[in-house]
Structure 1
Amino acid sequence: MQTFDRLVTVYGGSGFVGRHVVRALARRGFRVRVAVRRPDLAGHLQPLGAVGQINAVQANLRYPDSVRHAAEGAEIVINCVGIMHETGRQKFDAVQARGAETVARAAAEAGAKLIHVSAIGADAEGEALYARSKAAGEAGVLRQQPGAVILRPSVIFGPEDDFFNRLAAMARMLPVLPLIGGGTTRFQPVFVGDVADAVMAAIDGKTTAGTVYELGGPAVKTFKEVVEFVLETIGRKRLLMSLPFGLAAFQAKFLQYVPGAPLTPDQVKLLKSDSVVSAGASADGRTLEGLGIGPKSIEAIAPSYLWRFRRHGQFTEQAQ
Structure 2
Amino acid sequence: MATREERSIVVFGGTGFLGRRVVWHLRKAGFPVRIASRHSDRSHRQFGFADPQLCSVEANIHDQRSIAKAVAGAYGVVNAVSLYVEHGRETFHSVHVEAAQRLADHASRARVERLVHVSGIGSDAGSPSLYIRKRGEGELAVRAAFADAILIRPAVMFGPDDSFLTSILQLLRRLPIYPMFGRGLTKLQPAFVEDVAEAIATVFDRTTLNATTFELGGPHIYTYEELLKVIAHEARLKPVLIPIPFAAWRMLARFAEMLPSSPLTRNQVELMQVDNVSSLEMPGFEDLGISPRSVEEILREILQGQ
TM-score tier by shorter-chain length is over 0.9
1:4-63 CA distance string (max 9 Å, x none): 53211000000011011000111122221111121111224325x753222122222222
Match of 2:110 in 1: 110
Q: Distance in 1 between matches of 2:38 and 2:183?
A: 39
Q: Secondary structure at the match of 2:81?
A: coil
Q: Please tell me whether residue 152 in structure 1 is matched to residue 153 in structure 2.
A: yes
Structure 1 contact 9–70 (Cα < 8 Å) conserved: yes
Matched with 2:44 is: 43
Q: Is the 8 A contact 2:216 2:284 kept in 1?
A: yes
On the 8 A contact 1:233/1:307 being kept in 2, the answer is: no
User: Which residue number corresponds to residue 318 of structure 1?
Assistant: none
**8 Å CA contact 1:61, 1:94 repeated in 2:** no
SS at match of 1:16: coil
C-alpha displacement of 1:271: 1.5
1:43-192 equivalences in 2 (<5 Å)? 43-47=44-48, 50-112=50-112, 113-192=114-193
What is residue 212 of structure 1 aligned with on the other side? 213
Q: Deviation at 1:161?
A: 1.5
1:120 corresponds to which letter in structure 2?
Answer: I
Could you report, residue by residue, the CA deviation over 1:259-290 in whole angstroms, capped at 9, with x for unpaired residues? 65442101111122111011321xxxx11112
Matched, 1:238 2:255: no
- The runs of at least 4 aligned residues of structure 1 exceeding 6 Å deviation read none
Post-superposition offset of 1:307: 5.3
Where 1:182 maps in the other structure, the secondary structure is coil
Residues 206 and 291, structure 1, Cα contact 8 Å, conserved in 2: no
2:167 and 2:129 map into 1 onto residues whose CA distance is 21
Q: 1:243 to 1:249 in 2, by over 3 A?
A: same
AA paired with 1:111?
Answer: R
SS of corresponding position for 1:146 = coil
Residue 292 of structure 2 corresponds to: 295
Moved more, 94-103 or 297-306: 297-306
The alignment's TM-score, normalised by the length of structure 2, stands at 0.93
Cα displacement (A) at 1:217: 0.8
Equivalent-residue separation in structure 1 for 2:85 and 2:144 (angstroms):
26
User: Is the Cα–Cα contact under 8 Å of residues 231 and 296 in structure 2 kept in the other structure?
Assistant: no
CA deviations on 1:206-262 (whole Å, 9 max, x unpaired) are 652112111011110111111112222223332211111111111011223446544
Q: CA RMSD in A?
A: 1.9
Distance 2:270 2:81 in 1: 21
TM-score, normalising length: structure 1: 0.89
**Alignment correspondent of 2:30:** 29
2:297 maps to amino acid: A
Query: Secondary structure of the residue that 1:69 maps to in structure 2?
Result: helix
Counterpart of 1:26 in 2: which secondary structure?
Answer: helix
| C-alpha contact 1:153 1:195 (8 A) present in aligned 2 | yes
Identical residues among aligned pairs (%): 37
Task: State the aligned residue count.
Answer: 302
